Amino acid sequence: MDAKDRLIVGLDVPTVNDAETVVRELGETVDFYKIGYQLAFAGGLEFARDLAKDGKKIFLDMKLLDIDNTVASAVENIAKMGMTMLTLHAYPKAMRAAVEAARGTDLCLLGVTVLTSMDETDLIDAGYEYDPHTLVLRRAEQARQAGMGGIVCSAEEASAVRKIVGAEMAVVTPGIRPAGADKGDQKRVMTPAEAIRSGASHLVVARPIIRASDRLEAARSILAEIRNAA
């Protein structure tokens, strides 16, 4: 893949106007954007449709989880929106329902394993019996068996996940921080080059670009690092 197909810029901004500014500043340099809860609930879903119509790729980060019929119905409608990627929590029943609903479309379904803001203590507090690494690998195998298009995991787990899911599935890694960048609320992070060398197919980068004084230069720098690491 070209580096432009591997960099996903997270539009983690409060308004559509803010998102439009980011997209305008990045221009043709960036082709792939993530839209999550914050922007989705501020008019971002219509904005996502508009971006898709303009030829941009959209990773809709909704982390779906519900009864099978509800998940399937949501996936069917999201596929009609022209989205490129969609996340759901990597629970086997939900994944199987989503895969069946997306059959025959171009929508790539991604199973979210363990959020990059969570560590072992957080999982224990949430009632899980597994440490993050073990739970990520368990869910990666379940996603592969369900026929999912890819996995979302920390870059720290990308190498081990790649061995489980093989060469064809996407391995999407958030929590990417260039060397020296502030980690923010992320606990399991890597640089772009480290993530690519670990087996990531796509990198989600938000704050290091959208909060940069020169967003275009920040994006170009990360794209160059991706190209050099590939």
Q: Which residues pair with 109 in a beta bridge?
A: 86
162 within 8 A of 180, measured Cβ to Cβ: no
207 is in an annotated binding site: yes
88 is in an annotated binding site: no
Q: Is 63 a catalytic residue?
A: yes
190 is in an annotated binding site: no
64 is in an annotated binding site: yes
For residue 114, the SS3 value is: coil
65 is in an annotated binding site: yes
Angle ∠(151,64,111) on CA atoms, nearest 5: 10
Cα–Cα distance for residue pair 31/84, rounded to 1 Å: 11
164 is in an annotated binding site: no
Give Cα separations from 75 to 55, 58, 108, 141 (angstroms): 21, 14, 11, 21
DSSP-assigned states of every residue in 59-78: EEEEEE-S-HHHHHHHHHHH
Angle ∠(149,153,158) on CA atoms, nearest 5: 90
Out of 4, 57, 63, 93, pick the active-site residue: 63
Q: Which two tokens stand for residue 225?
A: 């690092």
Give the type of residue at 165.
V
183 is in an annotated binding site: no
CA 151 remoteness from chain centre: 8
79 within 8 A of 109, measured Cβ to Cβ: no
67 is in an annotated binding site: yes
DSSP-assigned states of every residue in 165-186: HTTTSEEEE--B--TT---TT-
31 is in an annotated binding site: no
55 within 8 A of 29, measured Cβ to Cβ: no
Residues marked as binding for substrate?
Answer: 12, 34, 61-70, 116, 177, 186, 207
Q: Which residues are catalytic?
A: 63
Residues marked as binding?
Answer: 12, 34, 61-70, 116, 177, 186, 207
